[in-house]
Structure 1
Amino acid sequence: MPKKLLIGFLCLFLLPLGLMAQTGKIAGKVTDRETGEPLIGANVIIVGTSLGDATDLDGNFVILNVPIGKHTLKASYVGYKDITITNILVSSNKTTDVNFRLPSEAFKVEEVVIVRKRPLVEKNVTNSTTVKTQDDIENMPVRGVEGVIATSAGIVRQNGTIYVRGGRGDEVQYLVDGVNVNNPLFGGRAVSVINNAIAEINFQAGGYSAEFGGGNAGIISTSIRTGGRKLNISGEIFTDSWGTPGEKTMGTYPYGVSTYVLTAGGPLVGPVKFFIAGQNSFNRTPIRYWEGFNLTQYYEPIRQTAAWQNLPDATKYQTDENGNFLPDPSGKYKYLPKDGIFDPRLGAKADFIDIVYPAGKIVNAAGENYVLNGNITADLNPINIRLGANYGYGTSRGGVGITTFLAERRATLRQSENLAANLKFTHLLSKNTFYELNLNYFFTRNISMDPDFKHDLALYGDSLANAQIGYPYFRADGLGPNPMYGYGYVWSTYGTPLSAYSKSRYQSIGAKLAVTHQLGREHEFRLGGEFTSYVIRNYANGRVVALAGALRNSPDITDRQLQVTNRINNYGYDQWGNEIDTGLEGPKKPVFAAFFIQDKIEYEDIVINAGLRYDYINTDDKAFKNPHFIEFDSDGNIRADQFVDVEASQTVSPRLGFSFPVTDQTVFYAQYGKFIQQSRLRDIYLGASLVADNIQGGYAIGAPVGFGLRPERTTQYDIGFRQQIGDNLAFDIGAFYKDIRGQIQQRQITAEEGAPHQAYYAWVNGDFATTVGMELKIDLRRTERIQANANYTFSDARGTGSSPSTAFRMIWQSPTRVPFFPQYATALAFDQTHRGSINLDYRFGVDDGPKMGSLYPLERLGLNILFTFNSGHPYTRVDDKSFRNRRQPIEELNASRTPWNFQLDLRLDKTVTVGPLDLNFYVWIINVLNTKNVEDVFITSGTADDNGYLTSEEGQADIANYSPYGDIYTSLFKDLYYQLNIANANLFGPPRQIRFGLRFDF
């Protein structure tokens, strides 16, 4: 681990690679305070930088390429007093308007300093945008990019996935300092960002300019802080480990959460500045409602019953030729070993099984992560260089459920590592023209493996190798220890392997060149192009334990037979997980490129943002000449002549946005745009042998692969109205419509007569969706200690499939040879018709509040409350016989809804100054009311705590079969089955969590 941290630090300061750090623009006018006449040639500078401009004949100035964050602007003119405006907030890709009215030197006043308030209405923004600044983020009772942005209008966060305005989870693009950090195979963010390192989170729910692509639903762009003119050191620590694990206090458990953060930034040498942040976080367990389980109370009564005692000894411990326990004659107490089980924690052969699964903790599921974010900037006027990197390393265990508790030592070990490095070179050719050259490197790897044998795949199921490390009861190579059975449940015993083996590695290099030219005050032209090339490797072996048995029983087994027998999914690796670079199973190398041109036209009464984007996408994919008749070679692989290369996709997308500032407090806006993005690359890539086996076998595959999939297409319309009321209140109300085409859908590809294969499952471009909705955002600037913002979203998201696999059961259970696919839209499973949040911050300032002597005991005390709500999501009820693999709907698809959810979070803090240190003490409570929100339900019953099985015909038959011990079976079913699902299926939202923390600033 220290080696990895060292690599991360070196990457942070030495790697010459990167993409785009985000900047904004400041524009305005300088006039005479008395006459209103424009002042020609007045100087306007950003204090502490080399950036500035001189006013033109109309008194206008424009400062381009301004780093995001807070700035101080100073205007000066001969014969006039200087004016300085502080607290000017610049956001990425936005124009900040700042006007100066200079007083003549005839007035006997000193230099004027004005503290600017953040504008409530931005006239230059032509789409729906939400910006969260560092000041906003540090007071909120949430952490992390997703946690912060999930409080925004237009976003649904469900089961850990972010959905934007009816788009699927993989349609959101994540940028960090302009670098695309999406996982290319599965979507989602692959790079961690430290909360304390965030300068700004900019969320655009569609309607973004032609410069951006690859995120049809929306873009979440995070910008990292940079060093300032003075050295600043800060840190933070928080934990919930204030109580005894497993013991409930104040209605909750301590979950072993602890985080440590340290940041530093400031001048380095001359014009060079730096910023770096490091974080270590530890979680002892996933956070769930979990009350523990005691197997002894069920196991021992069974062993003491007369029926059990009267069974012949041979039956109690008799095994078949494979070592499996044989059932007793009655069939009721099968596989319960009379002589106990082997477990060194219980005694070599325990006849008393003291199995207690603790409350408030998923066993052996701890995780630890290290993150580094940082950059170096050099302002070498007229050249600016920024070098940055974001590095993360994490390790965790997969945890064990109730039925695998005895084997908890072998819980899956997971490791992950990621790096996004960037270099931005900006050259200011004139005050109106500059270009940016950006280079980037992105890398991520993930591994899931057995904690003992790790990468030695042949040893996973090797009985001798397992015995040598303390697991002596393997039945044979490839067969783990005997499990323990009872009442239809299976308990894995000590030493049972719990892990498959998988790993993936993705890396990309890219470049972006963009030229910006400001023509007068009105036109900002931007022209550029970008290129990204990936190398993607993946390996997954779900039957790795069986490898040893296959090698022992068939020493002459071929590579192809080994891959098929173990259903290995590999490309970029051979069948043993070694890297390879050529051949049918070589790595995938997709290429993405784009060109864009845009013009932002800014007049007093209208702002137009118009652009065109050209996207080139080469997925390095192949399709079949005839997908209904595929031929194979003698090894069972698909013949090379059956494929054709898939042509690259080339698309031109127009973007057009308008803003109509009626007054400085009233703005109408509208936008229209077309967007494309390639689907998850997992939908396109699968190991060659696995593809061949799937097609030949005609298996029902829930996650197959597509051939020749084209990009998904979205058309979006927005219209809205922003209005300021008085000095401190504003609202933004808007409506949107989205039409999404070409989403991935599962289909069955039929086989022609005489084909050497059966019908098979594949992904195709078939699903579509439409979303209409309305968003309301309210902003209250701090007034009398109170600051607040609220939002509400109404949406109706409908489509033919909520995910690519929606049609799986329609194919699998079709009564006809060729399944019928009705193409009609229903509510999507992640649609939440009503959703919103209210964030209220009440804070005392310095020397504020009641006074006691010379003290103000409440000064710098703050309370931040966050209330969130949603109306639940759709699901489909099935009949009371739909258990195991059967699913028989009793209503239209997604006609039912889960219950409403309400959650209240808060953060109470107090800041004190001790010498040069500001110390902020706080308590952070998640789910203050400990509301047990139902996030999902059993589709048979419509509730989260009962699947309806025990009252069903099938369940009643089981209870009768176990008579006279049906009550034991019923109690066991409830305690085990429901707890097992509650712990692992995200049926409920988070329980109450109480965390104490300290933040310091030097």
Structure 2
Amino acid sequence: MKKLTTLFLVTIMTTGLFAQNITGKISGNVTSDGQPLVGANVILEGTSSGAATDVNGTYYIFDVQPGTYTLRVNYIGYKAQIVSNVRVTVGLTTNQDFELEVAAVEGETVEVTAEKPLIEVSQTNVARTLDSEAIDNFAVRNVTSMVAAQAGVVVQHDGMHIRGSRSEEIGYTLEGASMTGASGKVVSNAIPEALEAVAVQVGGYDASIGNANGGMVQQSLKTGGSRLSGYVLTDNMGGGDPWVATGDKDITAGISGPIGSNMRFMAAVRKTSTENYSSNSRWFTPFTIGGGAPISDKVGGLTSSGDYMVLDKDNGNYTFRDGANHDGVYDPVADPTDELRGGGTGHGYAWDNTQDNLNFNGTLQMDMNPLVLRLAGSYNSYTYSSAGLPIQGMFNTRRHETANQNYMLNLKATYFLNTNTYLRANVRTVKRLYESYDRAFEEKGTFKAGHDSKLQDWLKWGNRDEVAKIDSNWSRHFGTPGQDPYLAGYQYNEPSNYNINGFRFNRDGARRGGYSKGEDGYVGFDAEFVSQMGEHEVKLGTAYTSYGYRRYSYGGINSLNSKIGVDSTLTDAVNGETDRILTEIVTARLSSWIGYDPLGRDWDASAAQKNAYDEPRNPWNFSFYLNDKFEAGDLIVNAGLRYEAINQANKDLLDYDNPPIDKNATIVAADHAEYGFKDMPTQSYLMPRIGLGFPLSDRSQFH
């Protein structure tokens, strides 16, 4: 056992690891008539955790997952005492004292229910914690809304802010693993029913927490109980008045329980689909203009195109092309050549905001005292598309879709050297894949999602003949309004906006975006050593995280198609992905890329034009800390020192007076020895941390 312990310690401390502490601690005193009882056994029921009191009658139970527990204390000659409803909170110490009575008859038991304190006396910073009961009772089943309801948190159009911080200064963790990749994008939140606790810390952290200046949102998943249980929840608000119905459909299911005698599991899945998921569609009240009479579209604001728009909140909204009689009225009976071009059914608004979301959360915990293993995972797959600005796009049924896939895995190992000392190590990984494309082309099978598409696939979105295969009404809006859209010269002349008395509206079939894709994530290793030395909880930890990301965006569909219309030989260059088309894209600045080449291929796909500047980025950070938490009755002092080293894996100019760019701000000599780029240096920080807390009363606290 000593050899195993030594090997375990050496292994985790030499790999450069440390994880945020999302567990809690239970401590207290066992006395009788005010005198300490030495050697009393305190057991955390349902687990293998427990402790014996020391010479002062004090006990400590470490690394307890957040949740509600039952404590039992036994001492020969005294009544056993059972205390239920003991709540353990993320990162804090739960105090539970016992006053035992002498037993007149062997086997007597006293049962007590613990009361939740009004304030957390063991915290040294501003923190708010929602336990599973508060989460279940919250009015909205959304973690972001729960966090936003806490003091000091504000949600605005540009994201969430804590104490006035920027949104990117907030850290998000699930089971101790950061939920943000190198891009800063929050990968996923947990299913509310799968959460045991959500803690919001507002600054004043101890030395174990980094990568968050403004605040920290820590989420902890549930652990399976001693009995098999499950649930199914459904919700459907998809029908009715489009101004009232939200279009939400939701089914959530979960199961948890034991596997054998020393394993517990929890699994939850949630499938949601939503129409009109954004409030954009309800930023205006239905309106009527001109008494509902047709209003002429004017090319350049002067010349009538022959297209008309009707805006009538009572009778519907639609656009039409006036027929041969040129009467400015849509009446296909009187004039069969009148053509409906948009709207005309129901309310006439092309809302159609949609989102499909699939989430999975799970934990598996194996208790092999003194070793505890815990595996936690999260998977999220979702797609969404938006109608954009509700008035401008009210007649446009064409949509651009964004698809995302994210996953997180975290394996934690905790090894107890004795009742007051333990080691903990984590291995974790997060991955995010995302892609944006024309939804109709994907639904018709003309475009295949999955990051393997090519330039020739994206250019079809701006090609009238290819668009006609998807929707004939969309193709009728190509070219100059009022002219024959199927003239040869209009093949790549995409739909322009209606001009209604100076107000712009999208024609049906107006393309809503280009193509983009990317991926980012990280692999992290961390560890910590924790020991209770009298009234001092000493923690020593270290962490290393290696990130990776690459991204690509192409927005030059119309520009390149226009050139193809003039020079058809470019088609062969596009299909063959030759260096000629690569040069064309770079020169015209039609795409942006990191980790790819200008065509969206691997960065080194072109042997002649590959550039090391385009390699995928792999930033990393390393941290080390030492923290002492002194707990003397009601007085809590957190003092620590944290070191961080951050490498951004990015470039900087060698000479700011001679940047390697031309007059068009295009990089022309990234690797030039005198005025090119250089690697940015690793940045190091040494940060002292100190926090103080003590209660002023049972309702107020100083920290």
Verify same fold: TM over 0.5: yes
Instruction: Identify if the C-alpha distance between structure 1 residues 640 and 72 changes in structure 2 by more than 3 Å, giving closer, same or farther.
Output: same
Normalised by the length of structure 1, the TM-score is 0.58
Alignment-derived partner of residue 311 in structure 2: none
CA contact (8 A) 2:341 2:508 kept: no
Residues 469-517 of structure 1 show CA distances to partners (whole Å, capped at 9, x for unaligned) of 3344444354213543331233333333222222221121111011111
Partner-residue secondary structure (3-state), 2:193 = helix
CA distance in 2, matches of 1:109, 1:378: 31
How many angstroms does 1:393 deviate by? 0.6
1:833-890: CA deviation from partner (whole Å, max 9, x where unpaired): xxxxxxxxxxxxxxxxxxxxxxxxxxxxxxxxxxxxxxxxxxxxxxxxxxxxxxxxxx
Q: 1:51 aligns with which of 43, 49, 52?
A: 49
Shift of 1:525: 1.0
2:499 maps to what in 1?
A: 485
Is 1:287 aligned to residue 279 of structure 2?
A: yes
Structure 1 CA distance, aligned partners of 2:350 and 2:361? Answer: 31
Q: 1:342 to 1:575 in 2, by over 3 A?
A: farther
Match of 1:461 in 2: 462
Aligned-pair distance for 1:277? 0.6
Distance 1:245 1:168, change over 3 A: same
Secondary structure of the 1:640 match is: coil
Q: Is the 8 A contact 1:22 1:177 kept in 2?
A: yes
Structure 1 regions of 5+ residues with no counterpart? 1-16, 304-315, 317-324, 661-666, 668-721, 725-729, 735-1002
Which of 723, 736, 740 is matched with 2:697 structurally?
723
Structure 1 match to 2:619: 590
Instruction: Choose from 633, 640, 649 the match for 1:620.
Output: 649
Residue 189 (structure 1) shift = 2.4
| Distance of 2:252 and 2:322 partners within structure 1 | 44
3-state SS of the aligned residue for 1:510? Answer: strand
Per the TM alignment, residue 48 of structure 1 is displaced from its structure 2 partner at its CA by 1.4
How has the CA–CA distance of structure 1 residues 128 and 369 changed in structure 2, closer, same or farther, with 3 Å as cutoff? same
1:428 aligns with 2:416: yes
Q: Could you tell me which runs of 5 or more consecutive residues in structure 2 were left unpaired when the two chains were aligned.
A: 1-16, 309-318, 324-329, 442-446, 448-452, 480-489, 574-579, 605-610
Q: Which amino acid aligns with 2:85?
A: N
The letter of the residue matching 2:38 is: I
Give a deviation string over 1:164-220, Cα, whole Å, max 9, x none: 1121111111011111002532x3522131111110011110011111111100100
Name the SS for the 2:102 alignment partner. coil
Task: Find the aligned partners of 1:351 and 1:463 in 2 and give their Cα distance.
Answer: 19
Map 1:757-776 to 2 at 5 A.
none
Q: Is the Cα contact below 8 Å between 2:42 and 2:72 reproduced in 1?
A: yes
Name the aligned partner's letter for residue 599 of structure 2: W
Structure 2 contact 331–338 (Cα < 8 Å) conserved: yes
Q: After the TM superposition, which residues 568-579 of structure 1 pair with which residues of structure 2 at under 5 Å, given as runs?
A: 568-579=591-602
Alignment of 1:15-34 (within 5 A): 22-32=22-32
Instruction: Give the letter aligned to residue 25 of structure 1.
Output: K
- From 522, 526, 532, the equivalent of 2:545 is 532
Note if 1:125 corresponds to 2:123: yes
CA distance in 2, matches of 1:423, 1:346: 68
State which of 524, 532, 541 in structure 2 corresponds to 1:510: 524
* 1:326/1:41 CA distance change after superposition, 3 Å: closer
Q: Is 1:659 matched up with 2:673? A: no
Instruction: Give the CA deviation at 1:424.
Output: 0.5
Is the CA contact (8 Å cut-off) linking 2:43 and 2:71 kept in structure 1?
A: yes
Alpha-carbon distance change, 459 to 27 in structure 1, aligned in 2, over 3 angstroms: same
In 1: Cα distance, 2:359 partner to 2:230 partner: 17
Could you say if the C-alpha distance between residues 18 and 269 of structure 1 is closer, same or farther in structure 2, counting changes exceeding 3 Å? farther
Q: Which residue of 1 aligns with 2:192?
A: 195
How is 1:743-762 mapped onto 2 (pairs within 5 angstroms)? none
Deviation (angstroms), 1:407? 3.1
Q: Which amino acid aligns with 1:385?
A: L
Query: What is the aligned counterpart of 2:103 among 105, 120, 133?
Result: 105
Aligned length: 618
Which string of whole-angstrom CA distances, capped at 9 and with x for unpartnered residues, describes residues 546-593 of structure 1?
Answer: 333334545264424313425311112222323436732221111111
Q: Deviations over 1:935-970 (max 9, x none)?
A: xxxxxxxxxxxxxxxxxxxxxxxxxxxxxxxxxxxx
SS of the residue 2:539 aligns to: strand
Determine the C-alpha separation between the residues in 2 that align with 1:537 and 1:423. Answer: 26
- Check whether the contact 1:509–1:532 (CA below 8 A) recurs between aligned residues: yes
Q: Contact (CA 8 Å) 1:18, 1:179: kept in 2 or not?
A: no
Q: Say yes or no: does 1:204 pair with 2:201.
A: yes
What is the CA deviation profile of residues 783-826 of structure 1, one whole-angstrom value per residue up to 9, with x for unaligned ones? xxxxxxxxxxxxxxxxxxxxxxxxxxxxxxxxxxxxxxxxxxxx
Secondary structure, aligned partner of 2:146: helix
Output the amino acid matched with 1:421: L
Q: Which amino acid aligns with 1:287?
A: S
Secondary structure in structure 1 of the residue aligned to 2:136: helix
Cα-Cα RMSD = 3.0
2:586 partner amino acid = Q
The residue number in structure 2 matching 1:95 is: 93
Task: Please state if 1:547 is matched with 2:568.
Answer: no
**1:356-435 pair list within 5 angstroms:** 363-400=351-388, 401-408=390-397, 410-435=398-423
Counterpart amino acid of 1:142? Answer: V
CA 1:144–1:340 in structure 2 vs 1: closer, same or farther (change >3 Å)?
closer
CA–CA distance in structure 2, aligned partners of residues 560 and 44 of structure 1: 73
Say whether the 8 Å CA contact 2:175–2:221 is kept in structure 1. yes
Give, in angstroms, the shift of residue 352 of structure 1: 5.7
Query: Paired residue for 2:112?
Result: 114
Contact conserved, 1:294 with 1:357, CA < 8 A, in 2? no
| AA aligned opposite 1:437 | A
Asked if the contact 1:600–1:607 (Cα under 8 Å) also holds between the matched residues in 2, the reply is yes
Distance 2:369 2:700 in 1: 41
- For the pair 1:258 / 2:249, whether they are aligned, the reply is yes
> Matched residues in 2 for 1:470 and 1:18: separation?
55
Q: Give the counterpart letter for 2:61 in structure 1.
A: I
C-alpha distance 291-650 of structure 1, shift in aligned 2 (>3 A)? closer
Letter in 1 for 2:104: A
Structure 1 Cα separation of the partners of residues 169 and 196 of structure 2: 24
Tell me what 2:670 maps to: 639
2:697 is paired with a residue of what secondary structure?
Answer: strand
Query: Which string of whole-angstrom CA distances, capped at 9 and with x for unpartnered residues, describes residues 278-299 of structure 1?
Result: 1011221023535565789678
- Provide the secondary structure at the position in 1 that maps to 2:392: helix
CA distance in 2, matches of 1:631, 1:119: 63
1:278 matched to 2:266? The reply is: no
SS at structure 1 position matched to 2:614: coil
Q: Identical aligned pairs, as a percentage?
A: 27
Deviations 1:363-417 (A, max 9, x none): 1211110100111100011110111111101112221533334431x21111111
Tell me the CA shift for residue 254 of structure 1.
1.1
Partner of 1:229: 226
- Give me the whole-angstrom Cα distance separating, in 2, the residues matched to 1:191 and 1:444: 10
- Distance, in Å, in 1 between the alignment partners of 2:74 and 2:548 is 54
Q: 1:171 aligns with which of 148, 169, 176?
A: 169
SS of 1:404 mapped into structure 2: coil
Secondary structure, aligned partner of 2:557? coil
Distance of 1:607 and 1:340 partners within structure 2: 73
**Post-superposition CA distance 1:328-360 (Å, at most 9, x none):** xxx6564444895499x9999645667359669
Task: Please state whether the residue corresponding to 2:46 is helix, strand or coil.
Answer: coil
SS, match of residue 75 in structure 1: strand
Task: Report if aligned partners of 1:192, 1:391 keep a CA contact under 8 Å in 2.
Answer: no
Give the residue type in structure 2 aligned to 1:480: E
Counterparts in 2 of 1:119 and 1:346: CA distance versus 1, 3 Å: farther
> Is 1:244 equivalent to 2:218 in the alignment?
no
* Deviation of 1:302 (Å): 3.7
SS of the aligned residue for 2:439 comes to coil
Partner deviation per Cα, 1:669-723 (whole Å, 9 max, x = no partner): xxxxxxxxxxxxxxxxxxxxxxxxxxxxxxxxxxxxxxxxxxxxxxxxxxxxx53
> Once the 2 structures are TM-superposed, how far is the Cα of residue 630 of structure 1 from its aligned partner?
1.8
Alignment partner of 1:440 out of 422, 425, 428: 428
Separation (CA, whole Å) in 2 of partners of 1:200 and 1:375: 14
Inter-CA distance 297–351: structure 2 relative to 1 (3 Å threshold): farther
Tell me the amino acid that sits aligned with residue 422 of structure 2.
Answer: F
